[in-house]
Amino acid sequence: MGTEEVINEIGWILMLPYLLFFFFHILTRATLVCTPYFVTATILYTCGSIYMFATAHWNALPTIVWQYLFYQFFLPSLSLLMSINRFTAVIWWNQYSRIWKWKFFVLYSSIILVITLTLHYMFYKALFNCTYCVSNNRNLYRVFKTTVYITAFLVEVCAVLCRQKLKSKHTLDKYDVMLLMQSLLSTSCFLVNIGCNQVFDALAADNILKPIVQFISNCMFVMGFHLPCLYVFIKNKQLRYLLFKFYFINKFWKTEFTTVQVSALSQTYY
């Protein structure tokens, strides 16, 4: 097992505690977690974990090529959907509940899935019928991913700037800072991953920097899922309380959580 496989193996294993937490609280309809945003995030983290698992077991899975192509489009699209969700939560907070009713959320998710499957079909067919696509498929994927991730980041920045203007403030509040940082962490990691992959392909086979660039690329991809997830639990005390309670860790740190109360009004994170 090579370095790439080891990093991805560790990546999907370390995501399991978060996935179990999110799935449990979504299925039990916990007020703080069972929201369109966190459902989208859970789908993203789940797909990312599957992708990492498939990468770690590249030679053992016969469907790896199909999965690789599918997630090249699906993961960035989910990130953009999350950004749009947070944009509406910040700018049109009074209409947020209407815009993100569950029936509309299913509609938005279905559109994302249809677009992904369409692109997947087009690229999958093109790979076997188009000489240019066969020789440049990796670059085509990266152009798509880079465009979508930059768009998602710009949406987040616009949301924060508009909120700042609406509130007539020159400083960001805690929610805006968390919003921007969470977006910055995920988007930056994925963009660095794409950039490193491009540099890796450009380097000569015997270049000493090639394995270093590949290592950074793999780490950035895995951190693109872990860092944003870890950040919200560190930043949000209520989510941290639910996480510790879920794994019975709160018994060892009772003092920190004696004043924490999770109620229906605790919607500080959409």
Query: Per residue in 218-227, pLDDT tens?
Result: 999 999 999 9
Q: So what's the pLDDT on residue 134? A: 56
Would you say residue 261 lies in a domain? no
Residue 85 has pLDDT above 90, yes or no: no
In angstroms, the CA 157 to CA 149 distance is 12
Residue range 4-32: mean pLDDT, rounded? 91
Q: So what's the pLDDT on residue 250? A: 61
Helices (H), ranges, 57-101? 64-91, 96-99
Would you say residue 269 lies in a domain? no
**pLDDT band per the 50, 70, 90 thresholds, residue 126:** low
Residue range 135-161: mean pLDDT, rounded? 80
Q: So what's the pLDDT on residue 268? A: 40
**Residues near 62 by beta carbon (within 8 Å), at least 6 away in sequence:** none
Residue 108 has pLDDT above 90, yes or no: yes
- Closest listed residue to residue 32, CA positions, set 195, 200, 245: 245
Residue range 126-135: mean pLDDT, rounded? 59
Would you say residue 270 lies in a domain? no
In angstroms, the CA 120 to CA 122 distance is 6
Angle, to 10 degrees, between the axis of helix 3-27 and the axis of helix 36-56?
150
Q: So what's the pLDDT on residue 180? A: 64
Q: So what's the pLDDT on residue 195? A: 87
> How do residues 153-208 score in pLDDT, each as one tens digit?
888 788 777 777 766 654 555 665 676 677 778 888 888 898 888 888 888 888 88
Residue 270 has pLDDT above 50, yes or no: no
Would you say residue 241 lies in a domain? yes
> How do residues 226-268 score in pLDDT, each as one tens digit?
998 899 888 888 888 888 888 877 665 555 544 444 444 344 4
Q: So what's the pLDDT on residue 1? A: 67
Print the domain residue range for 248.
3-256
**pLDDT band per the 50, 70, 90 thresholds, residue 92:** confident
Q: So what's the pLDDT on residue 167? A: 64
Kindly report the pTM of this predicted structure.
Answer: 0.83
Would you say residue 266 lies in a domain? no
Would you say residue 265 lies in a domain? no
Please state the domain count of the chain.
1
Q: Which position has the token pair 């938005």?
A: 108
In angstroms, the CA 142 to CA 198 distance is 8
Q: Which residue has the higher pLDDT, 63 or 207?
A: 207
Would you say residue 267 lies in a domain? no
Residue 19 has pLDDT above 50, yes or no: yes
Q: So what's the pLDDT on residue 111? A: 93
Name the 3-class secondary structure at 60.
coil
Residue 151 token pair? 């768009």
Would you say residue 171 lies in a domain? yes
Q: Residue 15: which CATH number?
A: 1.20.1070.10
Mean pLDDT, all residues of the chain: 80
